[in-house]
Structure 1
Amino acid sequence: MKEHLTNFLLALIFLALAGIFVRVVALGPPDAPVVMRAVAPYKGNAADGVTTVVNSMLVGGKTYTGGAQSFRTDTEGRPIVQAFGSTTVTLLSGETITVVSDDAGNFLANANMQQGDLDVSLTNPLYVSVTTPITVIQTDADVFKSDANMQYEDADVTAARPLPVTVYDVVTGAVTVDFAAKFVDSQETNTLRVVLSEESEVHDGLMFSLDRSLDVGDDVFTYLWMHVGASPAHVAIGVWGGGQLGVSLWETPTVSGGIVVEAHNLNRTSGTLPLSVISHTPSIASLGSTPLFTNTVLPGGTSNNTRIGGSARSTLEWIFPPNSDYLLGVQNVSGNTVSVTMELDWNEE
């Protein structure tokens, strides 16, 4: 009997301590740090298949980690979202968002956070700290701004690329804009316009172009040497000529000297200069390894590579690493002196 009584008392003490522990975990003081875990997908306001990676967000001066929609579990293991203090929260931007009641747990508008079973109604974007681009979605009628980090309960269109976001650095406090891609909502057609990558680079003043035209004698080579700067270069190559030409691209040549060819920024309102330098007629000690490609430009005919005059142009870009060297070589094998044009178009990251 005494042993049973002892076990009974120990069980009561254990249950009492467990109850206190559960209460502390479930409630916690308003300013206590909260351990959170990311839960995907969003509750109530995300379309199927949408993925969003947000590492932390600032609300009311506190940093939430593990996801902008960060969930912790209640005493029964169900996910909830914790927000400290009252039903209003002041954002980093100085705006105030109001927590509105919805016992059903539904997002009422463009909600971005929950406190228990309450909803947050937000008309302006949150500032978030991210290390991975955010993929967001566009609704039937609402417009995402360039620093958007919101989804709407009736959203049904998924952006194919990350939307640029305003990034708040929780360590330094710096606020920057990451232009990973650009999206513009068309109010006229109720669709999402996408600015393609190349056009986006032109808009940002990071797309450059140059060409060199000259007469080349039979069985003579002409070269363009590209020394890539501190940023990777995404390069498209074009060659045109009045006769049959051989075209090659060499990697890691040993070259020096040459005459610099002026490059032009395709955005004529931008003063940005390229980091890469292109020179013609360099001194070549070694061509380097096996050429990355060889091509033949044939004169005459009507196909893409045999039009009158002839041309060879890459439809895909090459990505050259920083501080590297490449040599574009063109050989006239037509039997006559012909005009040759070599063109490089590139953008720098």
Structure 2
Amino acid sequence: MKFIAKIALGFMLPIAAENSAESSVVNVYSFREAKLINPIIERFSASTGIKVNVVSGKADKLLKRLIQDGENSFADVLLTSNVVRLEKAKQLGLLQAIESDYLKQHISPELRDPEGFWYGLSIRARAIFYAKDKVNASDIHRYEDLTSEAWHNKICTRKGSHTYNRSMLASFIALHGEKWAGQWTKGLVNNLAMRPTGGDRDQLRNVNRGKCDLAIANSYYFGTMSQSASLQDRQVYANLGVIWPEQLGSGTHVNISGAAITNAAKNKENAQLFIEFLLTEQAQTMYSNINHELPIRQDIQASELVRSWGDFKADIDSVAKLYQHLDAADRIIDSTGW
């Protein structure tokens, strides 16, 4: 097949497909709101001439829809958060593997499926946040420190059953074993200031309101609050600090947002081009600046805002192992009432 270069991307598009219906479109299921990825989509379409149709929704609802639609699915690409969802989609036969030297070149093996069924796009860290006027950050170095009696009734988290916490606990099991993870969870629950409710931003707000001194949350929520239209949320950002735990050990727990081509994809070539575009320097930079996550590419810096929180070591080795420890994590969460 002959190819024509798309210089702006450094990719090649098939000449034979230039005038076909399939070559002009790619259909995407995205967990991100359209407004957050529209700038990237516009760049992609301008560079390739390929129209991107996006269905946005909650990650779990999109996965459920993909399951229900089966081979009749509209989607070519699945953009979702958490490696657990990507691996679940793979195990259910909803994805197809793709071979891409470009993706392999720019994504560490730990952050992509070894068989090519899914690829990481950005890194999200689950950090510890503290009230600057109450907590000395040097007193906390590890997640294990959260089980100390010093923090009794002083910690806020969302429910343990949420996928963020399930994944974090699964990483602890991968690193330390089920017994250690169970003891950690018991200690954490004993130190909670209130019954877990709400999302990560609510936990950060609770710290600012004085309901607790510490909270566990994904760092990108902290970033969004810095630019919120709400003065109260901007005050949350000003009054809280971030701690990257485990810097002398395995590193801070991280997860990914990622992409995959669906098994039902009708526009596979365009789907692969779209995913590869999300790994270009311009797209990775935009991802970081818009979403306050870390670029998956090691050769690209995080945004200035994220860098202002300090460099940190991330536990990327556990990412691909999370799915296999989820059942054990669920048992611990249920037994401890987190």
TM-score of the superposed pair, with normalisation by structure 1 = 0.23
User: As a proportion of its length, which structure holds more helix?
Assistant: 2
User: As a proportion of its length, which structure holds more strand?
Assistant: 1
| Max Rg structure | 1
Q: Which has the higher contact order (CA 8 A, sep 6+)?
A: 2
